[in-house]
Amino acid sequence: MTGSRKRKCRTEGWTSKKRLPSQLPSTPVLSHSNTRPRFAYLRDPFTVLSGGRSTEEVMNNSLYRRSSKITYSKQCFEVKGRLGHGSFGDVFAVRERDTNNLYALKRFNEDRRWSDALREVRNFELLPKHPNLLQLKLAWEEWEEVEEKRIMYVQTELCIGSLDQYIRSFDLSELQVLYIMRDVLKALDALHQRGLIHCDVKPENILISTKGFCMLGDFGLVFDMAKDKAGSDGDSKYLDTAMWGTNMPKPSMDIFSLGLTILELATKEELPKNGELWADLRHGILPENFVPKFTKLSEKLQCTIRRMLESDPSLRPKASELLEESFLEQLDETKRLPFKRLEYISHLLSPPVNKPRRSERLQIQKIINGTVTLPSSFSTPPNSSNSSPVYDSNRKVHQPSTPVRRPVTSVSRIRGRPGIRIRPLFPSSC
């Protein structure tokens, strides 16, 4: 019996020896570009990707608590409103709690390829410091416990809006178009000197800064001529067909896209997405609906647009050559017409109003209604038949030479905290 049992145990591979921890098989983990072990996020819930600061330096922010389960973005930023939405994700206007400065915060969706989001962050690092290029403040990724996924955020300067949003509400004069053209040419010249091609110049990616000039943004398709092996096509409405036969974009591609953008802004006509009219613009033929407004433009602007839309890329001027044109050089920045504020952004950029406390608002309302008597510091007008004080903001009230504000003493029992509180009956603004 005993021998048979031992033989049975040997055949089934049983043993009475304990395995050491080093001999235990490791738990299999799925390897995927968009997945990491969940406990890795618990050890590293926040990682800085770009912005010139280390993760430790950012986490030492006085407002950030590492022990809290609330993410860095929710602890350090207050969302003021959503600026835009697209396939990439959402863009929010936020206020940084530490400095009270306003920024734009781009939140990438998880369904977008992680490599595309990382590429845009990398492209920000390639950009030169230039006032007409949107600058990166900080980029990071964090793990959200509630949604159980990692999110990437890109913090940049806050702008009034894009030209695509602006032209839907307001018209642009030819002088404004010239200033916009010069701003974008300066941005393209700075990129081309670094060997970078934007590949997606259009009104939607031309942003209006809070200082009144234009900046070039959205660098997700930027092509590095020194390192990248293939580029990506941008919006079909502004696409240059000369680049269809090659995967290597050239600076002339940006010039063509800018030429179509200026044509659309100056004539206030929407560009075709496809069809015969779309092909005519690529062969130097102006559609009939563009002709009446195009002929009203100045000859210099007409000639410049034609040069930028040459079907042969080698005949198109460079950005630096266009900036040397006399009609662009002579533009005086002090005479630039300001942009009008869009409705959805106006309340975000306006300074906050200090609202009086609810108890003070109720007291003021009672005084206006005449249910409460004013203190002695608020005297009645002279020669008044009515003995009760009158509160009229438009009427001059006789005040003593040395007015005295008598504080009102009241017992505070708010939220179970008894104590004596002395404060004026009216706010200082009254």
Residue positions in the annotated binding site?
106
Contacts of 277 (CB under 8 A, 6+ apart): 287
DSSP-based helix, strand, coil % in the chain, nearest 5: 35, 20, 45
**Domain locations in the chain?**
46-157, 160-343
Query: Phi then psi for 123, rounded to 5 degrees?
Result: -65, -35
111 is catalytic: no
Question: Which member of 189, 200, 218, 254 is catalytic?
Answer: 200
Map 241-278 to HEC letters: HHHCCCCCCCHHHHHHHHHHHHHHHHHCCCCCCCCHHH
Q: Domain 160-343: give its CATH code.
A: 1.10.510.10
Q: Which two tokens stand for residue 40?
A: 């890795």
Which pLDDT score, from 0 to 100, does residue 13 have? 52
- Backbone φ/ψ region at 13: left (φ over 0), alpha (ψ -120 to 50), beta: left
Which pLDDT score, from 0 to 100, does residue 110 have? 66
Which pLDDT score, from 0 to 100, does residue 156 have? 94
* Domain spanning 46-157, CATH class: alpha beta
Which pLDDT score, from 0 to 100, does residue 388 have? 47
Query: What is the pLDDT tens value at each position of the chain, 430 positions in all?
Result: 555 555 554 545 555 555 555 554 555 544 444 444 444 444 467 788 877 777 777 777 767 787 777 888 888 899 988 887 776 788 899 999 888 899 999 988 766 667 788 888 889 999 999 999 999 999 988 887 776 778 889 999 999 889 999 999 899 999 999 999 999 999 999 999 999 999 999 999 999 998 999 999 999 899 998 888 877 778 889 988 877 767 788 999 999 999 999 999 999 999 998 889 998 898 888 999 899 999 999 999 999 999 999 999 999 999 999 999 999 999 999 889 999 888 766 666 655 555 566 676 676 666 667 665 555 544 445 554 454 444 444 545 455 555 555 544 444 444 444 444 434 434 444 4
C-alpha dihedral over 268, 274, 275, 278, to 10 degrees? 50
Q: Is the pTM of this model over 0.75?
A: no
The alpha carbon of residue 214 and the mean position of all alpha carbons in its chain are separated, in whole angstroms, by 14
CB of 428 closer than 8 Å to CB of 354 = no
Which pLDDT score, from 0 to 100, does residue 47 have? 81
Which pLDDT score, from 0 to 100, does residue 387 have? 47
- Backbone φ/ψ region at 94: left (φ over 0), alpha (ψ -120 to 50), beta: beta
Residue positions in the annotated binding site for ATP?
106
